[in-house]
Structure 1
């Protein structure tokens, strides 16, 4: 996707400009950024391990209470992870890995049973209704794939993006979300998925068949998520590859920070995750569509952008990680621009906060997406407009710090709306 704001080569081919506008403590800013990244991925790992324990408890002794506990653990795990998404785009090691843990949207029929309204295979995806849970073998590219044992290796190496189709999401948070909630069949009415705990029960209590295999899939996906997050947390350790790459070149490192902020703010969140769903009035475009948790995903994505600029992160245990910040660098070069971006980040968080609190009060994000719902459109567009506006100031920061050639992710929903309906 092309950038609305900045033209030029992608980050991998940057011809960086002068570093004269960078303050002397740029290395401290980058070290603090790496420390925050490490803390966020450590928190993502620890909350995923709590989810893992809840999933194991559900499988061992299925009950309504155990399913509720697993769902609550999943929701809690999303809080630190969503704040980590700002490390994408600028850090290649994160961008190349992210699809394993947060790929979206997905054709859930690949994994398990779906409602009749879901349909079957399509020209775009022959495996859209495969239902691995119900099938101990299937054909892929002329070969028989044995799925009698559902393992993390099967999910990661065979099923995920099978046939080269991105919608074949077999791993990560959203595969787990589907297995915990099931499909949300409420359209633009309130309510999340209503999967019953009996989908994991034994014997005659088992609903919808294959409860043992469903449990095996859920465990494999959760174990894989924990392993993937453990790996990424290690990349930001003192000797990790992500930290080493970031600190190797101060200009490239600061550019990576700004690329992540601008691309998440503009093309990814404002465009693909918010504006597109509103244009299509489609709850299937919700980021956390099975659990009706999208209002929180948007909020914590926005918070991730803000805390990178301010150089601070509040960990899940309440501890504060903080230090030299991008804000410090910008203030040294242009105090008015620093104040402007701080103000815009705060305005965006207020708008995303209104979406969050309104959804929690009973006006769900599904309902906000309904065609003709003026109040819902105003709430979502408040967030979109804030994200777009703050990106304009991030562009100015790039210029003030003399960093040339950055390109932020774009979105047809913002850059070429007519293409959305073609």
Structure 2
């Protein structure tokens, strides 16, 4: 595995293993009285974790902006590597926010601007002759960077999902990822995308043309990512007339339903299904989440961790601080201790199976290699994550039942029912 991904992989692996061996994770059971364990208390924990995780996503995006500016102003192998490392670091807290998507309309409506994938790369920049865009996408080879229109936020937003095609991804993390790594053509199994730093060079040192416009696009896309993240952070900020206030004013049963629905929907339909099983069944790199950087193993681990965060009522920030409070684990345990312990154990299993995928990637066997049809061990490793996620979803749905919620269906997208 290249050195760039190693640090982020080790962080994710250590976190997953730490949670796996933690034993029973019913939090604060010795210090929190039964009177303190209530739906309202878990709602407060939930909004605090959401605000912290989105705030960390914003702060790491600002770090990415500093690195991008350095790359564009002084292109070199070192500044390109630093920008890639900043992007990888930014994905860690963001991955843990995705559990809030299906439970909350503000996040669900917003998420496509920052995390849409897969994308038709030809919309943005030059591509290899082997490139094939989505059938019927007339903008799949638009190559915005080779055009003449001024590159600004308005232009990128106008091309995002242009023509009604979801493959036209002009903004967000994965557009930035493509601009940093380029296409991963799998010429070497251990390599991710191999875009040279000279794609941002000045004058005669420029490779592949339009280096100034490429730098403008990268800068504007990063500025837009920060703008979008500022919007969602404000939505969860305390003491404001915002979505946080709306969520806290929900009927308690509806709020808990949404929390569990978000966990179950990310766990089953999105992560086990769309993000992992689709790629495994097709044995297709094009169906992996972060295909340019080969960072999909981290996406999986952090998504799984986000589900666990909500149940445990605990989120560990990049600086080591911990945001925690009364948890869903305690709320379920007050009704059925064995069920709460069972779901805790299954969440741990998801963490350990995801850690195995991360560990394999760390030694050079990326997700796109683990899903190849002739890689029986890799396929089994990926299947173990799918199985664990499916198993924990069954307990999530059972937990809803013991809390008096009878309309939780983690396979649907009808997450915002009437309270």
TM-score of the superposition, structure 1-length normalised?
0.87
Residue of 140, 143, 147 corresponding to 1:135: 147
> Offset at 1:154?
1.3
Contact 1:101 1:225 in 2 (8 A): yes
Q: CA RMSD in A?
A: 1.5
Q: Which runs of 5+ in 2 are unaligned?
A: 1-34, 414-419
Contact 2:92 2:302 in 1 (8 A): yes
> Offset at 1:410?
5.9
Task: Establish whether residue 277 from structure 1 lines up as the match of residue 289 from structure 2.
Answer: no
Cα distance in 2, alignment partners of residues 407 and 175 from structure 1: 32
Cα distance in 2, alignment partners of residues 240 and 77 from structure 1: 28
Q: State the match for 1:220 in structure 2.
A: 220
How many residues matched? Answer: 377
Query: Which digits, 9 at most, give the CA deviation of each residue in 1:151-187, with x for residues without a partner?
Result: 112111x110000111100000000000000000007
Q: State the match for 1:72 in structure 2.
A: 85
The equivalences for 1:8-87 within 5 A come to 25-87=38-100
Residue of 382, 390, 403 corresponding to 1:388: 390
Cα distance in 2, alignment partners of residues 279 and 210 from structure 1: 38
Query: Which digits, 9 at most, give the CA deviation of each residue in 1:283-340, with x for residues without a partner?
Result: 1111000000000110000000001100000001110000000001000010010000
Cα distance in 2, alignment partners of residues 340 and 27 from structure 1: 24
**Worse-matched range after superposition: 175-184 or 359-368:** 359-368
Cα distance in 2, alignment partners of residues 33 and 347 from structure 1: 23
Query: Which digits, 9 at most, give the CA deviation of each residue in 1:220-256, with x for residues without a partner?
Result: 1000000100110111011152211211121111111
DSSP-derived class of the 2:166 partner: coil
Runs of 4+ in 1 over 4 A off after TM superposition: none
TM-score of the superposition, structure 2-length normalised?
0.88
DSSP-derived class of the 1:118 partner: coil
Q: State the match for 2:409 in structure 1.
A: 407
When residues 23 and 400 of structure 1 are mapped into structure 2, their CA distance, relative to the original with a 3 A threshold, is: farther
Cα distance in 2, alignment partners of residues 215 and 53 from structure 1: 13
Contact 2:37 2:330 in 1 (8 A): no
Query: Which digits, 9 at most, give the CA deviation of each residue in 1:326-364, with x for residues without a partner?
Result: 001000010010000000000110000000011101221
Task: Establish whether residue 92 from structure 1 lines up as the match of residue 93 from structure 2.
Answer: no
Q: Which runs of 5+ in 1 are unaligned?
A: 1-21, 137-146, 412-422
Q: State the match for 1:246 in structure 2.
A: 247
Task: Establish whether residue 182 from structure 1 lines up as the match of residue 182 from structure 2.
Answer: yes
Q: State the match for 1:419 in structure 2.
A: none
> Offset at 1:24?
5.6
When residues 174 and 395 of structure 1 are mapped into structure 2, their CA distance, relative to the original with a 3 A threshold, is: same
When residues 26 and 187 of structure 1 are mapped into structure 2, their CA distance, relative to the original with a 3 A threshold, is: farther
Q: State the match for 1:141 in structure 2.
A: none
